[in-house]
Amino acid sequence: MSHADVEAGAPAARAAPPATTGIKPPPGRYNTTSNAPYVQPSPFYYDHAAAHERHHWSWLVPLVVIANVAMFVVVMFYNNCPRGGGDCVGRGFLRRFSFQPLKENPLLGPTAATLQKYGALDWYKVVHGNQAWRLESCTWLHAGLIHLLANMISLIFIGVRLEQQFGFWRVGLVYLVSGFGGSVLSVLFIRKGVSVGASGALFGLLGAMLSELITNWSIYTNRFAAMLNLIIIAAINLALGILPHVDNFAHIGGFATGFLLGFVLLIQPQFGWLEQPYGSKTKSKYKAYQIILLIAALVLLAAGLAVGLVMVFRGENGNDHCGWCHYLTCVPTSSWKCDN
């Protein structure tokens, strides 16, 4: 999705701008709210969103990547596979940082007990151990090196572009709250084992990209192609979540949370290529549908998180209220079975 090349010039020598009409607007951002003929943008036209985007440096996403890698190193240090014996992977050169045997952890990582000790999502500890902090801490842990690399590459691919466009605080909020929302849905349906990973937060960024495209619909070209691409990517990744040992509830919860947050945090003013009086300031505004989507998303998000948290801490089991929902995270086949 490209942006129109519009510069904000300083009006030193104010020559009258050429009144050219019938010119097609440049590719990228545009608005069709006016029937006025297109006027080539003068030096006094200022695309606030495009200019604001140029001022954002992506530092939060690299910082999150560093934090996740650091947490993995710390967890592997305390895991200390050689201490427990067994056929540790890479024991000769990694020593205490070596991985658990592949039959125990094929993702090249620590034991489940170590992950649980350092903040993995565990239903019993969250509900009965007063450890609600695990709803967020689990998003900073990973089951193995393969898991870590897959998530961090995805984060860089998705997150850097979003941060450059919308800034660190909005993207940071989407990331953190989406991870939390994914954990709430996960712990509501999964009571056995532990769950870790930044996937819920990553799906939140993906969902936010989709809602951002919808709410800022009129400023983009190639909208349907972009939406189709996002839907296909999300569908493929969610489909992979039906494999065993994948917490697809965290993915679904994170995606839904990020999708709603996108309407609230990633809304942009709609700029029109309008014929303005010479020297006047170009006005921007939000459209009515954007405000409606923002309010609806905010209400749904608050209600969803509130209801989910109440159900979790009351000890409710989501599977009791949805008999088929367990198929969303694992579908049994002739090749594998799904543990309860």
pLDDT digits (tens, 9 = 90+) for 201-236: 999 999 999 999 999 988 877 878 888 888 898 888
**Burial tier of 93 (Cβ tally within 10 Å: 0-12, 13-18, 19+):** exposed
Q: What are phi and psi of 290, to 5 degrees?
A: -65, -45
pLDDT at residue 323 tops 90 = no
Distance CA 264, CA 159 (A): 18
Is 251 among the catalytic positions? yes
pLDDT at residue 20 in the model: 42
Tell which wins on pLDDT, 223 or 315: 315
Q: Which of 137, 183, 195, 199 is catalytic?
A: 199
Contacts of 24 (CB under 8 A, 6+ apart): 38
Distance CA 127, CA 140 (A): 20
Q: Per-residue confidence at 55, pLDDT binned at 50, 70, 90? A: low
| 284 beta partners | 271
pLDDT digits (tens, 9 = 90+) for 106-153: 999 999 999 999 999 999 999 999 999 999 999 999 999 999 999 999
pLDDT digits (tens, 9 = 90+) for 24-47: 333 333 333 333 333 333 332 234
Distance CA 119, CA 75 (A): 10
pLDDT at residue 65 in the model: 97
Distance CA 196, CA 141 (A): 6
> Under a CB-based contact definition with an 8 Å cutoff, are residues 283 and 262 in contact?
no
Name the fold adopted by 58-272+285-328.
Rhomboid-like fold (1.20.1540)
- Reading the block at residue 110, the tokens are 């620590």
Is 55 among the catalytic positions? no
Contacts of 199 (CB under 8 A, 6+ apart): 151, 182, 247, 250, 251, 254
Distance CA 142, CA 301 (A): 27
Q: Which of 3, 142, 147, 251 is catalytic?
A: 251
The domain ranges of the chain are 58-272+285-328
- Reading the block at residue 156, the tokens are 């860089």
- Reading the block at residue 21, the tokens are 């009409």
Average of pLDDT values for 288-297?
Answer: 94
